[in-house]
Every structure is written in C-alpha cells, then in structure tokens.
C-alpha cells in the first residue's frame, strides 16, 4: 500500500465534494417552502416574511447565493443556521461526535454478535443451531428499526429498568450506558446483514482446498479457523461493513429520534422540515466526506487482508 | 347559625393556611419537551417553541392572568390611562432586579419597549404599534399613544414586551442589534422567575431559580419554589411517555390525545388537560378561481356553508380528539376574550347541506381537494372522517398529503383549495386571531382571499374602542358576519395535554400556551 495511493484517493474526494455542494444547493431550493414562512407558519404576514428573507439574503438570485456560499466555504465557514441562529459548523461540531459514537458502538456490537455466531453457524451448518441463528437474524432484518427500538425501550428500559430511556449522558461511561439500547438496535440490524455473508463465506473457505491442506498438515482446528478461514472470509465482510457504516449513519436518523439522542441524524431531520438550508448543506457535505473516508478505509483494510489486491 | 359560619370559615382558613404553608421548596423538575427552543430573544423569536419558554426567563410590565383572559400587575405594580385615552402611565415596583442582581430601571423599560416596537425587529412589533413615544421619570414610564388602544394592556403582558437589561445586552459582542441578540440569547439574563444556566442544543436546557425574583409564594418567601427546571428534548411521543412512566420525567407535554385516557388511569400520574385557545379548522380558498384557472366551487358561500353544516362535530371530537375536544361556535376559541357565547355555530344538518349544494348548482355532488400534513395522524383521521361525512351529502373529498413546509408554501401562494389549520393566541385579546382570520389585511384572511368590507370597518373601530361593552358588541357582529360568510370550517377546540407526576403541584400552562413553572413545586 502506497502513500501516493492514499493521497490520490483523498484528492478524489474534492471533485465529489464540489458535485455534492452544487447538487444539494440546487435540490434544497427546488423543494417548495422557504425557511422563514415555514418557521413563522400561520401567523406571518407577507411583509414580515419578505423582510426576513431579505435579511437572510434569500431574496437574491440563486446564483448569487451560491457564489456567496462557495466563497464562505473557502474560508471554512458553513454559514449560520437560519432557525437556530448559530454557526452550522458549531452545530455539527457539537452533534457529530454523538452520532459517530453511536455508529462505532453499533458497529462494534454488530461485529461482536455477528462474527462468532456466523462462524458457529458455518461450522455447525444445517443443524438446529445454524437454523436458530439464521432465523433470529432474518427476523432482525425484516423488523423495522423503529419497532425494534421501541420494543427494546419498553422491555429493557421501562419494564425492567436496566437501561435509561433515551438521552446521552455526560461522561464516557454514561455514553456507553445511555447509548447501549440504541447501539444494540442498530447493531442487531447490522449483525443480521453480516451473519448471512460471513456464514456463507466461512462455509466457502472451509471447503476450499488450502483448508483441507492445512488440516492434512495437522494444524489445530482453532488455528485453521483464525489464520486461514477467518482472514479470507472477512474480506467480503469488511467491504460490507464499510458500505453499511453509511447506512448506519442513515439509520441513526430514526434511532436518534426514538431514543432522544442529540446527534446529527435528528439535526438533519429538523433542518429538512424547517428548510434550514445552511444546516442541510453543511450536513450533507459532512456526510459525503465521512462516507468517502470510510470507503477509503475499507479499501485500505481490504488490501491489508488480501495483499493480492493491487493499487496502481 | 352565624357562629357556625364563622367557625367553618376559621376552620377552612386554617386548613388552607396549613396547606399553603406546606408547600415544599427546592428540587429539580425534569420536563419532557417534544422539541427544543430555537432562539431565546423575546423580540426576534419566531416560534411557539421559544414563546412558551420565554415567560420563565423574562418578565413583562403586566402579565396575563392564568385564565388567559385579562391582565394583572407584573414588573409594573399599577397603570393608569389618561382621560383622553391617549397616554398610559406605568409605575414600576420598587426594588426589582434582573437575575444578575442589577436594578431594573425605567431606562431599561423604555429601551426594551422601543426595541420591541421597532418595525425592523421581528414579527411582533405590530402589537405595540399604537405607542408614539416613551418617556421616563423616576420609576414611572409614560407611553404616549397615537390613538386609544384597548389592546395595549394585553400587548404589554405579551412575551415580546419583556423587559431586558439594556447594559448587559449592549455589552454582548456584535456590531448591530441582531448580532448582539444572537450572542445575548445564548446566555440570556432577564427578570423572570428562572435564569438559563445550561443549554445543550437538541439535548437539554436547565433553568435555575432567579434569587432576585420579586413575586412571593404562599409561604411569604420569594418565588419560585423549585431550585431548577430541566427540559429534556424527546421528540418521539412514545419515548416521552415511557420516560414519564419510568419516573425519569416529572412532566411531559404534547401527550397524544389518543393516549390521554390510558394515562388518566395511571395512579402515578396526573393527566391534565389545560384549557387552551387552540382552534382546529379547515381553511378554504374563497377565490372564485383556483390557481390553475379552474373554477372554484368554494367561491360560492352556499357551498362553504353546506360544508359547515355537513360536519358532525360531536363525532369528530370522539374520533379525532378521543373525546377531549369541544365544538367550535366561532372562529375564535371560547377561551379568547370577547368570544361571543351566543353564537350558534353550525349544527349538524345534512339535509340543509344538500339543499344548499343543490341551490348552488351542485345537485350531482362536487369534488374538492384538501392539503394534509404528511405523517400527521390527526390530519389523516380528521380528513378521512370528513370524507365520510361529506360523501353523505355528495361532496367527494380528495386528500393530498404534503410536508408542512410545502403546505405552507402552497397556501401562501393561494395554490390550494382546502387545508387543515390550527391556531393558538399569543396575546390575551381577540384582535390577534381576528386580524389573521377575518380581516383581509396583510394575510389575506388566513390566505383564504376572503374580504368583507363591514368586518374590515368593525375591526378598525374595535381597535380603538376602549369601552369593553361596546368592543364586545363590535366583536359579536364580526363573529356573526364571519359565520354567515363561512370562509373557514370551524371544527373543534382542543386542550393542552400535559402529564405530570403525582407530586408535581402548581404547574400551569395558560390558554396562550405559556408554560409557567413559577408556582410549581415537588411535594414529598
């Protein structure tokens, strides 16, 4: 793996960034409804709406607004939220760590559940254990996230009182405690995806010739599993995990609402309903960068796991 | 007999005294809100989310009473209106202070009101439009008026007329008023019963008691009773209720009406339906032609009346509000001052509706389309029920679901035929809702396009009529004329559903929506 490859991939993010910038700028202005009259709702007179739009520069031609937006972005300024009247960058700075914490937590829980169970299912394939594992996760995949979230809240939160109902907490330990149920909700969904792929790739590798060879060499089963089987089976799974991190951030929108977590998912929903253009733009760009970085990281790990993958 | 009365009275007094003395001081009340405040400036704020909190942080010269129908002294202990009704003199309470301990001066009052009535500032300055100039002397403030204004006391009791500390505001960073307001609103200091001590946007907000607050509690000591109030932001209705049931919250707002009965039967909770000024209606486009040039049957008053007669409001109240609503008899709520109790409203009369439709030339029925807010279970239930009721008289209703922002954009552009609508008063006076619903003015009568010259004249008169009796008569005429013209379809009034833990006492949400924690306490 070369540093120049990483650099090249990082540079590729720039045109993507520009494209997302133009797209989201145009798209949010194409949907009907403007921030001011949405916020003022039933009460506002046309005069008041017009005056507020003028103050915010929303009465200027879209191309001028875009120019100003790009100019500001070049100075590292995403503008101020129209509804909350604070800098978008600050809002994202406050909220993004929460969503990232939740995403990583969910990914860790998902992997911790998926890997051993997938291997178990593969090793004991076509037994009742295999059937049970696959059945449970199939169910996890077909149930909507908000439903699972509410069930977990009702049972483990309200009825048994083991976990707090929603919130985020102040310290690292509190974060772990408060976010356990939402992370579990997202993790279950992720594990359901991972178990299926990982199980079939473990089965595939288990029946490969080099595993037979290793076995013939007399290597102990556990070593075969960890050194040969898992390493090879994980290649597809890592890609899938990378792809799903993007989905996890998307899934956070619902989870954050149900569990009352102050992350960027909820910020985005509020911004879209309130037509808060600067916040929508800023968040979309942030998501684009994060997803690009995750994909890059996925490719790098992929290459690490399988040295045959060449990066020219 | 006399002696018995006296004994009973003494006993009763002793009992109430005993009760009032027993009010517990201290503690933190945790309250679940469905969304966070946006911007805590009394003058430049835009949404109910702010308004309903501001009254805890800021105080006004006068205050609305808890029934939302009149005003009581606030920072001003008294006010007098001159004989010609062209000026008002307010006397400030002695020794009043902001939450940082600095004195509230008449200069602060003048500066705050001048800022609030500046036409360049926000959406609310119109409420103080009648003030021509403000002068101060000692602890009195004199408002010179452009014309007699019966709404002024209520306007001075409204959030935007809050008194702010001029020096602290000016010391905030920023080049102009708007920039300073942004900075100041992050750490606002007012003279309300509480002061903001912590705010994590989207997560929680903590208000601590203002040690300098002027109002006394029933125990003779300064209010509020609570040490602090913590607002947790929980957008999901179910989660809010779960948290309340688990004891993590002592109060939660916006309980869905569908769950009121269930929470009422919970012995640990006190499910309260506070009277509100909220009205729910269907707002119609009254213009003879729709935006696309097609003729609009709703331009005919007979069709609009027919639709009003074809609504079974009692059934709607059961179906949509689960029995918690109340039939509307005027465009304003029965909790709005000068609501005319003699209004007949529209009794359910499908035969009359059919006859009116036939007279308008729609013997074979008529097609109408209504905009609904997507994702709103209430809108869905309401319009589906109306579809049935109107179907019985030959009106075919098509429901079009759009998100709230699209809906607003469409009705503002007159690009709609019908839409669901709701309203809550912000001021203890009928002029606000009348200005929006019945008068063409700047909002085109709730964007219906309706205009009635007589109503315009009556309203203009009512805005300068200081005799309450004469003003009531003007409002009676307005309400009757409005009903006959039927620019909207009155449906039902709904309360504010708030669920509280059993030990919470003294919390009030007044009909204007303000959440008052000033007299709230956590009993042991």
Q: State the count of interchain CB pairs (< 8 A) between A and B.
A: 124
Can you give the pLDDT of all 524 residues of chain B as single tens digits? 444 444 444 444 444 444 455 799 999 999 999 999 999 999 998 788 899 899 999 999 999 999 988 999 999 999 999 999 999 999 999 999 999 999 999 999 999 999 999 988 888 898 999 999 999 999 999 999 999 999 999 999 999 999 999 999 999 999 999 899 999 999 999 999 999 999 998 899 999 999 999 999 999 999 999 999 999 999 999 999 999 999 999 999 999 999 999 999 999 999 999 999 999 999 999 999 999 999 999 999 999 999 999 999 999 999 999 999 999 999 999 999 999 999 999 999 999 999 999 999 999 999 999 999 998 888 999 999 999 999 999 999 999 999 999 999 999 999 999 999 999 999 999 999 999 999 998 789 999 999 999 999 999 999 999 999 999 999 999 999 999 999 999 999 999 999 999 999 999 999 999 999 999 999 98
Residues 32-51 of A with CB under 8 A from B: 32-34, 37-49, 51
Cα–Cα dist B118/B126, whole Å = 9
- Which residues in A lie closer than 8 A to residue B125 (C-beta atoms)? none
- Which residues in A lie closer than 8 A to residue B242 (C-beta atoms)? 153-154, 157-158, 165
Cα–Cα dist A114/A136, whole Å = 12
Contact A120, A133 (CB under 8 A): yes
Residues 6+ apart with CB under 8 A from A95: A262, A263, A264, A266, A267, B202
Q: Which of A32, A55, A258 sits opposite B406 (nearest CB)?
A: A32
Q: Which of A48, A157, A274 sits opposite B123 (nearest CB)?
A: A48
- Pairwise CB contact (< 8 Å): A165 & B178: no
Examine the predicted complex and report whether its ipTM is higher than 0.90.
Answer: no
Residue of chain B nearest A159, judged by CA positions: B246
CA B103 to the chain's CA centroid: 31
Residue of chain B nearest A263, judged by CA positions: B202
- Which residues in A lie closer than 8 A to residue B416 (C-beta atoms)? none
- Which residues in B lie closer than 8 A to residue A28 (C-beta atoms)? none
């Amino acid at each position: 793996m070369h540093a120049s490859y990483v650099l090249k991939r990082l540079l590729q993010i720039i045109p993507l960034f520009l494209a997302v910038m133009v797209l989201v700028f145009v798209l949010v202005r194409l949907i009907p409804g403007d921030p001011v009259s949405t916020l003022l709702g039933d009460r506002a007179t046309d005069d008041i709406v017009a005056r507020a739009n003028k103050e915010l520069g929303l009465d200027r031609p879209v191309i001028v607004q875009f120019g100003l937006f790009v100019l500001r972005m070049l100075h590292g300024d995403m503008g101020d939220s129209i509804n909350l009247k604070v800098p978008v960058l600050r809002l994202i700075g406050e909220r993004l760590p929460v969503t990232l914490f939740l995403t990583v937590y969910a990914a860790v829980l998902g992997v911790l559940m998926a890997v051993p169970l997938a291997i178990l299912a593969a090793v004991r394939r076509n037994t009742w254990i295999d059937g049970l594992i696959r059945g449970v996760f199939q169910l996890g995949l077909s149930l909507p996230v908000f439903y699972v979230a509410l069930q977990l809240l009702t049972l483990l939160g309200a009825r048994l009182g083991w976990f707090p109902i929603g919130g985020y907490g102040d310290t690292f330990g509190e974060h772990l405690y408060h976010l356990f149920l939402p992370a579990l909700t997202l993790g279950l969904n992720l594990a359901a995806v991972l178990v299926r792929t990982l199980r079939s790739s473990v089965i595939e590798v288990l029946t490969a010739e080099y595993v037979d060879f290793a076995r013939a060499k007399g290597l102990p089963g556990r070593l075969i599993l960890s050194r040969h089987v898992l390493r090879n089976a994980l290649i597809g799974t890592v890609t899938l995990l990378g792809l799903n991190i993007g989905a996890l951030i998307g899934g956070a929108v619902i989870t954050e609402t149900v569990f009352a977590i102050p992350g960027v998912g909820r910020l985005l929903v509020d911004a879209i309903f309130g037509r808060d253009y600067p916040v929508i733009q800023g968040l979309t760009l942030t998501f684009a960068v994060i997803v690009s970085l995750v994909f890059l990281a996925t490719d790098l790990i992929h290459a690490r796991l399988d040295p045959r993958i060449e990066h020219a | 007999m006399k002696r018995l009365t006296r004994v009973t009275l003494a006993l009763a007094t002793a009992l109430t005294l005993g009760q009032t003395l027993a009010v517990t001081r201290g503690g933190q009340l945790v309250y679940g809100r469905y969304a966070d405040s946006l911007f805590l400036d009394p003058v430049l704020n835009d949404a109910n989310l702010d308004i309903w909190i501001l009254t805890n942080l800021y105080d006004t010269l006068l205050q609305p009473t808890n029934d939302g129908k009149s005003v009581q002294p606030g920072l001003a202990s008294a006010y007098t209106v001159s004989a010609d009704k062209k000026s008002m003199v307010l006397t400030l309470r002695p020794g009043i202070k902001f939450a940082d301990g600095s004195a509230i001066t008449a200069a602060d009052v003048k500066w705050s009101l001048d800022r609030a009535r500046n036409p360049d500032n926000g959406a609310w300055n119109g409420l103080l439009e009648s003030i021509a100039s403000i002068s101060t002397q000692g602890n009195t403030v004199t408002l010179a008026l452009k014309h007699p204004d019966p709404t002024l006391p209520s306007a001075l009791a409204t959030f935007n007329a809050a008194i702010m500390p001029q020096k602290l505001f000016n010391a905030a960073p920023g080049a102009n008023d708007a920039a300073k307001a942004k900075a100041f609103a992050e750490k606002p200091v007012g003279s309300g019963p509480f002061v903001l001590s912590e705010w994590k946007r989207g997560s929680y907000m903590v208000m601590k008691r203002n040690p300098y607050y002027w109002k006394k509690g029933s125990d003779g000591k300064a209010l509020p009773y609570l040490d602090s109030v913590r607002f947790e932001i929980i957008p999901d209705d179910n989660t809010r209720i779960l948290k309340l049931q688990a004891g993590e919250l002592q109060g939660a707002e916006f309980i869905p009406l569908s769950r009121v009965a269930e929470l009422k039967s919970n012995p640990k909770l006190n499910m309260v339906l506070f009277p509100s000024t909220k009205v729910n209606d269907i707002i119609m486009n009254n213009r003879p032609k729709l935006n696309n040039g097609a003729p609009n049957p709703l331009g005919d008053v007979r069709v609009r009346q027919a639709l009003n007669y074809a609504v079974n409001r009692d059934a709607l109240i059961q179906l949509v509000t689960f029995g918690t609503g109340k039939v509307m008899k005027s465009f304003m709520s029965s909790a709005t001052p000068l609501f005319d109790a003699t209004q007949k409203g529209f009794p359910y009369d499908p035969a009359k509706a059919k006859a009116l439709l036939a007279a308008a030339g729609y013997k074979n029925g008529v097609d109408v389309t209504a905009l609904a807010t997507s994702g709103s279970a209430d809108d869905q239930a309401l319009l589906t029920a109306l579809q049935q009721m109107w179907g019985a008289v030959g009106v075919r209703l098509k429901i079009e679901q759009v998100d709230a922002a699209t809906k607003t954009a469409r009705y503002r552009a007159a690009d709609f035929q019908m839409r669901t609508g709701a309203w809550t008063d912000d001021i203890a006076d009928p002029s606000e809702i009348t200005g929006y619903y019945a008068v063409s003015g700047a909002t085109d009568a709730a964007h219906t396009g309706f205009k009635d010259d007589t109503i315009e004249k009556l309203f203009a008169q009512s805005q300068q009529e200081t005799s309450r009796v004469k003003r009531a008569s003007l409002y009676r005429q307005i309400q009757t004329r409005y009903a006959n013209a039927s620019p909207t379809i009155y449906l039902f009034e709904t309360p504010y559903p708030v669920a509280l833990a059993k030990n919470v006492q003294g919390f009030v949400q007044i009909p204007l929506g303000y959440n008052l924690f000033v007299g709230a306490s956590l009993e042991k």
